[in-house]
Amino acid sequence: MMIAKLKKIKKIYKKASKGVEALTFAICMVFILQIIVYIVGITQISTTKEQLQNICYNAGRAAVVCDSKDRAENAAKKIVKNAFSSLSNRNNVKIEILRDGSNSNPSWEKGNYIRCTVTHYVNVVIPTFNNSDKTMSTYLDMMIENDTESLTN
């Protein structure tokens, strides 16, 4: 009689444990999938940042060899537009001449520095509380290699 009761309890435990195991597996899968989504999102952000830095470098190189600030901005915008042509139009390029301690009003002269800033809109995979859209930006400082004086001489 005791053995029959033990067998009956064992059957009930086996039925109950199957449901608990499935529930535990489902809960664990939620956390595992969330970790995978975060890994994919972090990879997306780091890859996009690397590409953005490369594009900023190319735009800066195109800008420093120009003979005026207007031509430099146009050259940098053309590089960025070609790089992001297949993506979105939500990007921005800004070229500014950096000031040094001796010059309060910097001009486009060989030896001065410029800062090329590239900003791009990215739709990030990682879910956040506010919004999953993000604007990434990077900048690069470079020395002007060409100016109007060197062209006239």
pLDDT digits (tens, 9 = 90+) for 48-100: 889 889 988 998 898 888 888 888 888 888 888 888 775 555 666 777 777 65
The rounded mean pLDDT for the chain is 76
Mean pLDDT of the 35-60 span = 87
Quick one: 53 exposed, middle or buried, by C-beta within 10 A (0-12, 13-18, 19+)?
Answer: middle
Question: In this model, does residue 138 exceed pLDDT 80?
Answer: yes
Percent share of the chain, pLDDT over 90: 5
For residue 80, what pLDDT is reported? 84
Look at 17-21, 99-103, 110-114, 144-148 and tell me which has the smallest mean pLDDT: 99-103
Higher pLDDT, 108 or 129: 108
Q: Residue 34 is encoded by which pair of tokens?
A: 């969330």
112 within 8 A of 98, measured Cβ to Cβ: yes
For residue 89, what pLDDT is reported? 54
Q: Predicted confidence band at 152 (pLDDT cuts at 50, 70, 90)?
A: very low
Q: Predicted confidence band at 32 (pLDDT cuts at 50, 70, 90)?
A: very high
119 within 8 A of 80, measured Cβ to Cβ: no
pTM: 0.70
97 within 8 A of 109, measured Cβ to Cβ: no
